[in-house]
Each structure stands twice: as C-alpha cells, then as structure tokens.
Amino acid sequence: MNRMAETAFKAPVYIKPSTKLKKDWFYFWLLDNWKITSGEFAGSPYRFLPNYPFMEAVAKDMSPEIVTMKAAQVGFTELMVAKWYAYAALLQGNLMYVLPTDELAKTLARGRIKEAHSINPYLEQHLSGFDTLQQFKFRSNYMYIRGSQTQIRDGRQYQRQLISIDISRLFGDEVDEWNHRVFGKLQSRLGASLDPIAMYFSTPRILDGGVHKLFVESDQKEWAIRCRLGSCRQWNIGLDIKKHVTYFDEPDRKPHIIICEKCHEPLDRLEMDPQFSGWVAEHPDRERSGYHFNKLFFRAANIDTIVDRFNDPETVEECWNDDLGLPYQPKAFSINNDTLEKCACQSFKTWEEILKECRPLTMGVDIGKTIQYHVRGDRLGMPVMLECGSVHGYDQLSEIAQRLNINRGIVDAQPDFRASLEFVQDMKRYGLSFKVAYFDTHGEKDRVLLRVDTKNTDVVVIARSLAMSQVMFEVVTGKVILPWDVINVDNGDFARHMRAPLRTFKENTETGQQVMYFPRTRKPDHHFMAYVYALCAEQLVQDVANIGRRRTGI
Ligand SMILES: [Zn+2]
C-alpha cells in the first residue's frame, strides 16, 4: 500500500445514494478499469466479446437486486467480481462475496482476487488495509469472501460470525449449493441496510427453490431473437430446446440447428441488431431484475453436444441445469402404445432366421399369479425381444429355457425365494446360468445396475429405479426391436404391463436434488419386470465377458 493511495483514501468522494450514479456507470467503469483475471485473456482490459450482446445488457443493469439463473461456465463470475469492486470503489458500505463452501471461497481468493490485485494498478492503489485475501479493505469499505458452509470444527460459531458481519452489498455465487439457513439469514441481515444491493447468480438445481424461486419472483427476462432469415419477423423469446432446436429428440440427426418457432427457418444466434435481439421481460412491472442464461444462445455452445446430453439418461439432468440453465422438471412419464409400435419389427425375416442372428440370449422371469418370462437376444448390438409370455409352472419355464439354450437368466426372488433358488440350481444341470434377484436402492447412488451377493453367488441385487429407467429409455428411444404385433403379445398383457410403470421425480430432502423413482403401482407390471430382469441378465453376460477379457489381457 503506497502513501499516495492512503491519502487519497482519507478524503473519499462518494456519490450517494446509488440512484444519483449515471445509469450505465458500471459498464463504463468496467471498460475503463477492469483487467480480466483468468483464462486466455487474463491481464488484458475487459471487453465484451463480439456477438455476446446479452452480456452488455446485463452489465448496464444497475437494479439493486439482480438474480441470474444461468447455465454453467458462461463467464459470469468475472463480471460479478468486477462489479463487486466497482461498488466498493464508488459507494460506501461493506461488501461480501459468498460461495457455497469455504474451500471455494479460498480458491476464488487465491486465484482471481490475488490476480486482480497484482495485474490491476487501479485496484492496488485503492487497497487500504490488508488482512488476508479473504478479508481486506478497499477505500473505506471492508470486503469479505466467505463460504456458506464450512469444514472447520466449530461450524456453528463460524456461521454466527458470517451473519453478524455488517454488510450492505451481497454477492451470492452458486446460491443453490449454499447452506440454506445461511442464505435466509444473510438476506434478512442485508435488509437492515439503508441502500442494500444483492446479486444472486447460480446454476439452478432446485425446482421451486434457490435461484429458480428468486427468478420466478423477478421480472423474468429471457433473451429474444427475432426471425429475419424466414422473414416472418416472429420474436423467439427464451430459446427452448423443444421449440427451437431441430430434431431435439433425435441425437443422431446432426447437425442440429436453432430455428424460428413459427416458420422453422434458421435463427441467427449472432444477431447483434437491437431491432432483432434483446432481453424481454415477462413481468416488466416487477422490481427484482431477473435473467435466464441459456447456453443455446451462446455462439460457442455446441448444439449437437447439448442434444446428445439431453437424450442420455445419464446426463439429462446436468443438461437441464448446466446447458439450459433450468432446474430439472420432467413430468411423470410412462410408455404408451405409440411408443411400443414404433419399436415393432419391420424385418421380413422369419423368427427362426432372426433367432439365429442373436447372441447371447437372456431370460427374465417375473412371478405373479402366473410366471411371466421375457427372452432377449442381441442382434449386432441391437436388443431384440424374441419371445415373451406366461406359463403356469417352473417345468414349462425350464422347457423354454432348454429349447432356446438361454445363456443367462434372472428370476424374481419374490414371492417364494426358495422355489426360485431351486429353479436356478436346477438350471445348472442343463448348463444354463440363472440367478435369483431382488431389488434394493443402495446401487442407485453409485449408479450400479446390479451386483452379485457376496454371501450367495446365485443371488444378484438390482438397483430398481435405475433398471426400470433403462427399460423405459430403451423403448422410448426405439433402441429395441419388439414383435411386429407387439400390442397383441400375450393377449395384450405385454403392452398393458409395459404401460403401467410411471416414472417421476422426488426431491432429496438433504441435497435438494431431484431423484428419479417409480412409485409402486396397483396395475400389474409383470411383463415390464420380466423385461427388466432380461436386460439385467444381459448385463451379467457383459460383465462376465469383460472379466474374461481382462483376465486374458485382450
Ligand atoms: Zn420465422
């Protein structure tokens, strides 16, 4: 800290209150004073990338409360850190920048903050007291960088400290991962300030909570692009993957492009002309300013990748959050006759010809009043349902398994574990490998579809929701071949049972995240479950094949 800066600091000229500042002051302050703190352009003066007009508009917004519900990694932290300093430079009042954890707070301090001070003489001049990188004085204002959750032993005392600090400006980064109690307390604490300013920005992870709730209560601005190429002049407000992306549900139909909702001509994401692009508020009368940043309108975002992620059950939730900037809100979902018919076999080959092309064969068995079975084969990587039906006893089932020479099978452990186990052991005499299965939810977290029981190698444990969703996904995306008369198979019971399970989501009360689950249903779903077991049995084959490969070193 040099003496000049100290003297300059002692007679500060503050313009107060904030409303007297010129409307676009931060925008010009940013261009005049800020140097980029990270990435490719680190050290160079801040500038807005061409074709990112939406960022400029946000920088010009001087509302005291701004909420940004955003996709991940869209360069927002840089803008917010700069704004944090700008407020410290021009207004009186302590400032706090809060991240989800203490660890992240330290990372920000040691990275961007340290860098900002070292590359930017303007900032260095105005630093007037220096405790740590997480707590320092800038002009007459204290600036704090904190984590909302802390790993240190006396977490409670730390939180008390956190909320007892006197602040007028709160910058909340990734608020959806904050300790929720701290969030509420900091908000009310800020309310005590005469001239409070709050910036909340986060990738939304909680439906109807966190940043999503704040956004819903805001003026809800969406980026809009007006159709120009199609000459219909329609304003397309808030690019929506289902309305504005070609073949959003068919990942293989690349390249995917952004189109006008009305005339389906391409939309220009690089549109700069204010006559043809801009933020549009759903509720312009509301005080809180809110933005939704969706990756679809970013020039650098790869639409094909987003569509891939949208259609993969492993990444769909991340896609909603990180790419579309939305909380995951799927509707309850089930299979219908149309979906089943889309999977119906179109081949002119006979059943016997198709059977010959399939290896390995697996069988799934569910036990209700009768025994439902499902035989599945792999035909050049595409699963085929070869046979499915109902039998009245294990003898009949055994005949079918022997006739088709099934490689692996899985039999429901319910309602009679002993009977199922006897059948499985009996199958060994014919050289057919069967296992008894029961469900548990332990694998769901680790995304482990099935594992062999350590106590009894004839038993496997299946992650229920995970396995059911794989079956549903296979059918819905047409990644299975079903019989040509699929609706009438087993007197219509197959289709009836396939339509029964309902996939929905519930919130994990600990993490606030949405967890997929299939509520138990009263409708019979035996054929669906037999399908689940056959699919899992195939996994068993693959695992054994992989183990074999590893052993032989191929
Ligand atoms: Zn159009």
pLDDT of residue 543: 55
Q: Convert the pLDDT of each residue in 105-160 to its tens digit.
A: 999 999 999 999 999 988 988 888 777 889 999 999 999 999 987 544 455 566 66
The more confidently predicted of residues 205 and 520 is 205
pLDDT band at 365 (very low <50, low <70, confident <90, very high): very high
pLDDT band at 378 (very low <50, low <70, confident <90, very high): very high
Q: Convert the pLDDT of each residue in 152-169 to its tens digit.
A: 445 556 666 777 788 999
Over range 15-31, report the average pLDDT: 72
Question: Is residue 430 predicted with pLDDT exceeding 70?
Answer: yes
Do strands 371-379 and 361-367 pair parallel, antiparallel, or not at all (unpaired)?
antiparallel
Distance between CA atoms of residues 313 and 37, nearest Å: 36
- CA of 326 relative to ligand 1 center, distance in Å: 25
Q: Convert the pLDDT of each residue in 316-341 to its tens digit.
A: 889 999 999 998 876 678 899 999 99
Question: Is residue 7 predicted with pLDDT exceeding 50?
Answer: no
- CA of 243 relative to ligand 1 center, distance in Å: 12
Whether 418 contacts 442, CB under 8 Å: no
pLDDT of residue 71: 96
- CA of 462 relative to ligand 1 center, distance in Å: 49
Q: Where in the chain is the domain with CATH 3.30.420?
A: 337-552
Question: What would the CATH number be for the domain defined by 3-323?
Answer: 3.40.50.300
pLDDT band at 23 (very low <50, low <70, confident <90, very high): confident
Tally of CB atoms within 10 A around 158: 18
Over range 440-462, report the average pLDDT: 83
pLDDT band at 522 (very low <50, low <70, confident <90, very high): low
- CA of 254 relative to ligand 1 center, distance in Å: 21
H-type helices in 52-99, by residue range? 53-60, 76-90
Question: Is residue 180 predicted with pLDDT exceeding 80?
Answer: no
pLDDT band at 521 (very low <50, low <70, confident <90, very high): low
Q: Convert the pLDDT of each residue in 69-96 to its tens digit.
A: 999 988 899 999 999 999 999 899 999 9
Enter the DSSP assignment of 39. S
- CA of 320 relative to ligand 1 center, distance in Å: 25
Within 13 Å of residue 332, how many CA atoms lie on the same side as its CB?
7
pLDDT of residue 246: 94
- CA of 395 relative to ligand 1 center, distance in Å: 64
Sign of CA dihedral 340, 343, 345, 351: negative
Tally of CB atoms within 10 A around 205: 24
- CA of 266 relative to ligand 1 center, distance in Å: 8
- CA of 371 relative to ligand 1 center, distance in Å: 56
pLDDT of residue 448: 82
- CA of 269 relative to ligand 1 center, distance in Å: 13
Token pair, residue 49, equals 């990338």
User: pLDDT > 90: what percent of the chain?
Assistant: 56
- CA of 228 relative to ligand 1 center, distance in Å: 7
pLDDT of residue 337: 93
pLDDT band at 50 (very low <50, low <70, confident <90, very high): confident
- CA of 89 relative to ligand 1 center, distance in Å: 46
- CA of 34 relative to ligand 1 center, distance in Å: 39
- CA of 59 relative to ligand 1 center, distance in Å: 29
- CA of 70 relative to ligand 1 center, distance in Å: 26
pLDDT band at 547 (very low <50, low <70, confident <90, very high): very low
- CA of 251 relative to ligand 1 center, distance in Å: 24
- CA of 278 relative to ligand 1 center, distance in Å: 16
Distance between alpha carbon 367 and the CA centroid of its chain, in Å?
36
Q: Where in the chain is the domain with CATH 3.40.50.300?
A: 3-323
Distance between CA atoms of residues 316 and 475, nearest Å: 17
- CA of 55 relative to ligand 1 center, distance in Å: 25
- CA of 69 relative to ligand 1 center, distance in Å: 27
Nearest to 146 by CA among 128, 159, 129, 130: 159
- CA of 7 relative to ligand 1 center, distance in Å: 60
The more confidently predicted of residues 419 and 332 is 419
- CA of 74 relative to ligand 1 center, distance in Å: 27
pLDDT of residue 14: 35
Which residues have CB less than 5 Å away from ligand 1 (the ion)?
Answer: 227, 230, 232, 234, 260, 262-263
Whether 205 contacts 321, CB under 8 Å: yes
- CA of 223 relative to ligand 1 center, distance in Å: 16
- CA of 227 relative to ligand 1 center, distance in Å: 5
- CA of 232 relative to ligand 1 center, distance in Å: 4
- CA of 234 relative to ligand 1 center, distance in Å: 5
Q: How far is CA 547 from CA 87, 418, 493, 541, 550, in A?
A: 60, 29, 37, 10, 5
Mean of pLDDT over the chain: 86
Whether 301 contacts 241, CB under 8 Å: no
- CA of 327 relative to ligand 1 center, distance in Å: 28
- CA of 212 relative to ligand 1 center, distance in Å: 30
- CA of 236 relative to ligand 1 center, distance in Å: 8
Enter the DSSP assignment of 474. H
- CA of 396 relative to ligand 1 center, distance in Å: 62
pLDDT of residue 2: 38
- pTM exceeds 0.85 for this model: no
Whether 498 contacts 385, CB under 8 Å: no
pLDDT of residue 515: 75
Q: Convert the pLDDT of each residue in 278-291 to its tens digit.
A: 999 999 999 999 99
- CA of 245 relative to ligand 1 center, distance in Å: 13
- CA of 246 relative to ligand 1 center, distance in Å: 14
- CA of 229 relative to ligand 1 center, distance in Å: 7
pLDDT of residue 550: 41
Q: Count H helices, E strands: the chain?
A: 21, 20
pLDDT band at 416 (very low <50, low <70, confident <90, very high): confident
pLDDT of residue 388: 93
Within 13 Å of residue 18, how many CA atoms lie on the same side as its CB?
22
Question: Is residue 8 predicted with pLDDT exceeding 80?
Answer: no
- CA of 221 relative to ligand 1 center, distance in Å: 21
- CA of 68 relative to ligand 1 center, distance in Å: 28
- CA of 51 relative to ligand 1 center, distance in Å: 20
pLDDT of residue 468: 93
Over range 176-199, report the average pLDDT: 85
- CA of 63 relative to ligand 1 center, distance in Å: 33
- CA of 264 relative to ligand 1 center, distance in Å: 6
- CA of 422 relative to ligand 1 center, distance in Å: 66
The more confidently predicted of residues 217 and 505 is 217
Over range 19-24, report the average pLDDT: 68
Sign of CA dihedral 30, 238, 318, 50: negative
pLDDT of residue 117: 92
Enter the DSSP assignment of 96. E
Domain 337-552 maps to which CATH number in 3.30.1360, 3.30.420, 3.10.20, 3.90.320?
3.30.420
Q: Convert the pLDDT of each residue in 226-278 to its tens digit.
A: 999 877 999 999 999 999 999 998 999 999 999 999 999 999 887 778 888 99
pLDDT band at 542 (very low <50, low <70, confident <90, very high): low
